[in-house]
């Protein structure tokens, strides 16, 4: 029997097997360390940008020096960050984004006028968000509410 015709086919099959093993090893290494780290870093950046934009919306909703006013403004938040829902709450005039991943989160201090006496409420990422500002008797109250 003459097996010389089989040798090139076996050689190419071995080459293809080695290439597949290499690609599999690189993919496993990427998805085992690099990709999750990148997703966490990207999620943290999205959290910071989303919270900064929300803080701008809250600050912009406060009316000028008038006696009485009620302002309701919609706030746009991403539905999820890093594929998971999150919440935004107020702590001492600071918006705080809480995410299930402890490495993803953000804090933004609100720049509010002295007439703002209270800031309260929270938003959930799955619910449309709004800010309600009520100004009565020279005092302003800011509430994070669902639309």
Per-run averaged pLDDT (10 residues), the chain, 147 residues: 71 87 82 72 89 93 82 92 93 93 91 90 92 88 91
Domain membership flag for residue 141 = yes
What pLDDT, on the 0 to 100 scale, is given for residue 48?
93
Q: Count of alpha carbons within 13 Å of 38, Cβ hemisphere only? A: 6
What pLDDT, on the 0 to 100 scale, is given for residue 51?
92
Domain membership flag for residue 69 = yes
User: Which pairs from 139-142 meet CB under 8 Å and 24+ separation?
Assistant: 139/115, 140/62, 140/63, 140/113, 140/115, 140/116, 141/116, 141/117, 142/58, 142/61, 142/62, 142/112, 142/116, 142/118
Domain membership flag for residue 1 = no
What pLDDT, on the 0 to 100 scale, is given for residue 111?
92
What pLDDT, on the 0 to 100 scale, is given for residue 3?
65
What pLDDT, on the 0 to 100 scale, is given for residue 147?
83
Tokens of 36: 């999750």
Domain membership flag for residue 65 = yes
What pLDDT, on the 0 to 100 scale, is given for residue 68?
85
Domain membership flag for residue 64 = yes
For residue 68, what are the domain limits?
7-146
Domain membership flag for residue 84 = yes
Domain membership flag for residue 118 = yes
Q: Please give the tally of structural domains in the chain.
A: 1
pTM: 0.73
Q: Give the CA distances from residue 117 to residues 16, 40, 65, 107, 143, in Å, rounded to whole numbers and listed in that order.
A: 70, 36, 14, 20, 11
What pLDDT, on the 0 to 100 scale, is given for residue 99?
92
Domain membership flag for residue 2 = no
């Amino acid at each position: 029997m003459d097996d010389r015709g089989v040798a090139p086919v076996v050689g190419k099959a071995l080459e293809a097997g080695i290439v597949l093993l290499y690609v599999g090893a690189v993919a496993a290494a990427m998805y085992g360390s690099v990709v999750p780290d990148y997703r966490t870093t990207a999620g943290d950046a999205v959290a910071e940008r989303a919270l900064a934009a929300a803080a701008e919306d809250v600050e912009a909703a406060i009316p000028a020096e008038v006696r009485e006013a009620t302002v309701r403004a919609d706030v746009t938040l991403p539905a999820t960050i890093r594929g998971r829902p999150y919440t935004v709450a107020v702590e001492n005039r600071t918006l705080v984004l809480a995410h299930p991943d402890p490495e993803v989160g953000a804090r933004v201090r609100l720049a509010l006028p002295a007439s703002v006496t209270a800031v309260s409420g929270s938003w959930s990422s799955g619910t449309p968000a709004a800010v309600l500002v009520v100004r009565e008797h020279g005092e302003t109250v800011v509430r994070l509410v669902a639309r």
